[in-house]
Amino acid sequence: MRIVIAEDLVLLRDGLVSILTGTGHEVVAAVGDAESLVRAVTDLRPDLSIVDVRLPPTFRDEGIRAALRLRPDPILILSQYVERTYAADLLADGRGAVGYLLKDRVTALDDFLDAVERVAAGGTVMDPEVIQQLFARNARNRGVNALTPREREVLGLVAQGLSNSAICAALVLAPPSVEKHIGNIFAKLGLPASEDGHRRVLAVLAYLNG
């Protein structure tokens, strides 16, 4: 996989390059600011961009704004903190191929590399910490609030990017049970019948906006 990295911290940037090249990927550019990111992606057309939320010169939201300019290209955002608005902005186009991870997750190599593969393949991956914090914040969304505890659990795993089969394994449920829960989630969130992958992204967006 061909990857562009945008991270201003040299140690973390070099660490990401080492991890990714050591696992068979090709880092075609590693830059430290948003404009260099946009140029690299435009010129090199990578399979995935890994982007820090906060980049020079103000270290506020340059990274996320650059990422939004590059959509619908696959983007994996790294952030120091849970910032729900940024995660929701990335999902707003409903196209998938997007991830939002806390930087601490990079040290869990299997999880990080799995997220890289999923996002590049068109999936959606949200950090488990983002999902955990949202449980206390979504009472205003009547659709989300109508979900049963099990349906919330399933939606949380959908938000982490798990497939139906992976959800079955995580919750020790039979495939028909998971399919029924996901169908109920779509119905309660008022998501019309469409491509299942698209509805999964919209369900996660509803959860983030709750």
Q: By mean pLDDT, which of 40-44, 45-49, 126-130, 137-141 is the weakest? A: 137-141
Across 54-63, 126-135, 182-191, 200-209, the highest mean pLDDT is recorded for 54-63
Cα(4)–Cα(1) distance, integer angstroms: 10
Structural domains of the chain ordered from first start: 2-126 (3.40.50.2300), 135-208 (1.10.10.10)
Q: What is the pLDDT of residues 164-174, one digit of tens each?
A: 898 999 999 99
> Tokens standing for 73?
């290209």
Query: What pTM, to 2 d.p., does this model score?
Result: 0.71
Q: What is the pLDDT of residues 62-113, one digit of tens each?
A: 998 999 999 889 999 998 877 767 777 777 766 778 888 888 888 889 889 9
Q: What pLDDT does 59 receive?
A: 85
Which residue matches tokens 């300019």? 69
Strand bridging mode 2-6 / 48-52: parallel
Q: What is the pLDDT of residues 26-37, one digit of tens each?
A: 999 999 999 999
